[in-house]
Amino acid sequence: MNTKKFSLSIWIMRVFLIAMSVVSIFPLIFAIMTSFKNNKEFYANIWALPEKIGIENYVKAITEGKIGEYVINSVIISAITLTMVLVIAIMASYALSRMRIPGAEIILVLLILIQILPTESIVIPEYIIVSRLGLLRTKYWAMIIPYVGWMLPGTIIILANFFKTIPVELVEAARIDGASEWMTMIKIIVPLMKSCILTCLVFNFCFVWGELMWAQIATLVKEEGVPLTIGLLNFKGLYSTDWGATAAAICIITLPLYVLFLFTQKYFIEGLTAGSVKG
């Protein structure tokens, strides 16, 4: 009887997971199908397969919709932001977890409190600070600096917790051998954190790549450095009835996220479970 109940629960879980997978993947499949249609096909039957496979809508999205320019802007913003977050977070988390800094636990608690604040509550102070610093008319820094500030607390917390799972003996042995704190961190600790670092990179990249609210605010007074999310809104305004081209633009934006996760899923899963069990 218990075996039957266990088997039934497994099948229920499988059905649930399959249903959730379909719900998650279907919007992408629908966007891909639509990206190969013209308006006549789309309005005739939005659920039908495209009559032919062509790249006309993608060419239109890149040339007329300037999606290529927006992609370059988003890549630059993401690369600089993620590099700054990773470098600062690794050094800060190592110091807070392994260098016996007074009040380190209090600092981590404060970071957690900052992390749980809703983003909307700090938008106005953030805008005032960025405006006073004269960053609003710069091409990228009005988005990069706030993004770094928003992602640092969570990244530091994750990395600091992972640092604590690494045996203290490794650090002490390196110190006895005469290695500096910097060399200990770079040569010994960081190589052990590959999965955790990649997990943070995936989370942070997804945030930067798809963030909309602050990107709208930061680009109100300029036309340069517009990221993909804002570019898509502008594109939709220009081609509000051209659903094929709009869907092509959506595919260009979302496919990098799926490709990134496809190639990093092994390390992503390892990073999520790395600190769950000590020893």
- Residues 38-69 have pLDDT tens digits of 888 888 888 888 888 888 888 888 887 788 88
Q: Residue 48: inside a domain, yes or no?
A: no
The whole-angstrom separation of Cα 59 and Cα 252 is 11
Domain presence at residue 29 = no
Query: In this predicted structure, what is the pLDDT of residue 278?
Result: 43
Question: What range does the domain containing 201 cover?
Answer: 56-273
Cβ(150)–Cβ(81) under 8 Å?
no
**Alpha-carbon span 53 to 259, nearest angstrom:** 21
For residues 151-178, average pLDDT: 82
Residue 36 domain flag: no
Structural domain total, the chain: 1
pLDDT of residue 236: 62
In a domain, 223, yes or no: yes
Q: What's the pLDDT score for residue 152?
A: 92
HSE value, Cβ hemisphere, 13 Å, CA-based, for 103: 3
Q: Is residue 134 part of a domain?
A: yes
Whether residue 111 contacts residue 156, with contact meaning beta carbons closer than 8 Å, is answered with yes
The answer, yes or no, to whether residue 277 has pLDDT greater than 50, is: no
Mean of all residue pLDDT scores within the chain: 82
Q: Is residue 139 part of a domain?
A: yes
**Segment among 13-22, 213-222, 249-258 with least mean pLDDT:** 249-258
3-state SS, residue 26: helix
Mean pLDDT for 154-178 is: 81
What is the torsional sign of CA 196, 202, 208, 211?
Answer: negative
CATH number of the structural domain spanning residue 233: 1.10.3720.10
Residue 15 lies in a domain: no
Q: State the pLDDT at residue 237.
A: 55
Tell me: pLDDT of 3 over 70.
Answer: no
Which range scores top for mean pLDDT: 12-16, 145-149, 195-199, 272-276?
145-149
pLDDT value of residue 42? 83
- DSSP E strands in 99-221: the ranges are none
Residue 8 placed within a domain: no
Binning pLDDT at 50, 70 and 90, where does residue 77 land? very high
Quick one: what percent of the chain has pLDDT higher than 70? Answer: 90
Distances (CA, A) of 214 to 68, 142, 166, 207: 21, 9, 37, 11
DSSP assignment of 58-117 equals: HHHHHHTS-HHHHHHHHHHHHHHHHHHHHHHHHHHHHHHHHS--TTHHHHHHHHHHHHTS
* pLDDT higher than threshold 70 for residue 1: no
The H-or-E segment that residue 144 falls in is: helix 141-163
Nearest-angstrom CA–CA distance, 242 and 61: 10
pLDDT at 279: 40
